[in-house]
Chain A
Amino acid sequence: GENVEQHPSTLSVQEGDSAVIKCTYSDSASNYFPWYKQELGKRPQLIIDIRSNVGEKKDQRIAVTLNKTAKHFSLHITETQPEDSAVYFCAAMETRYDKVIFGPGTSLSVIP
């Protein structure tokens, strides 16, 4: 079955710097890759996603890149702000099989 690894597990950056979180997946059939942000004590919320027919997607300060050959995808946050501090989860999904596999999460701290 699918396995998703995520690195780093913790990340601290200065406000205004960029943050990059990387995930790898094992099942080449996976074709949907969402990223969720979970603030302390709250529910996960989708921040961006990408499908396997797209190499890159951007939404303001957030971007996701996908390398299907290497089976990895990354979240890029530019001009980080303290409110970006949260746990970020990547996930992979093979829509034919309906399951969603999440990575273990990255705790991002943005230092003012």
Chain B
Amino acid sequence: EAQVTQNPRYLITVTGKKLTVTCSQNMNHEYMSWYRQDPGLGLRQIYYSMNVEVTDKGDVPEGYKVSRKEKRNFPLILESPSPNQTSLYFCASTPLAGGFPSYEQYFGPGTRLTVT
């Protein structure tokens, strides 16, 4: 089954404790991205990756890191989480067409993160 998976689905942590949210897709998509969703603000892109070893900042990258060492995986790293990073996080992937992201983004199930 074609899918995007995220782990963990729920996480409660404390300020400053490093954490990683994993994202994996089995559709051989080149383009992957991370979003955070907050009430009234919609989905805001944190980082995206056009392919292995190619990553770039989205609109709200501060406090986050990513890596893309394999095509299928795109982990999100919070080196020192703070309470303002409490949010719902979505990973998404999409194939490229003509070298650019195209068609629909396939979203993972979401990770609800609470930082106390």
Contacts and interface: CB of A to CB of B under 8 A. Distances in A.
Interface of A: 1, 6, 9, 32, 34, 43-46, 49, 89, 91, 93, 95-96, 98-105
Contacts of B50: 98
Contacts of A104: 40-42
B110 A102 contact: no
Contacts of B105: 34, 44, 46, 100
Contacts of B58: 99
B100 A98 contact: yes
B108 A44 contact: no
B104 A34 contact: yes
Interface residues of B, number: 25
A46 B42 contact: no
B interface, over-half SS? strand
* 3 shortest interchain CB distances as A-B pairs: A46-B104, A95-B100, A43-B107
A102 B43 contact: yes
Contacts of B45: 99-102
5 contacts: A98-B31, A99-B58, A100-B45, A102-B42, A102-B43
Nearest to A91: B43
Given A44-B90, A45-B107, A46-B105, A89 B100 contact: no
B56 interface: yes
B59 A99 contact: yes
A43 B40 contact: no
Contact of B100 (A44, A91, A96, A102): A96
Contact of A98 (B40, B101, B103): B101
Which of B43, B59, B110 has most chain A Cβ within 10 Å?
A: B43
B48 interface: yes
A83 to B, nearest CB: 19
Contacts of B103: 49
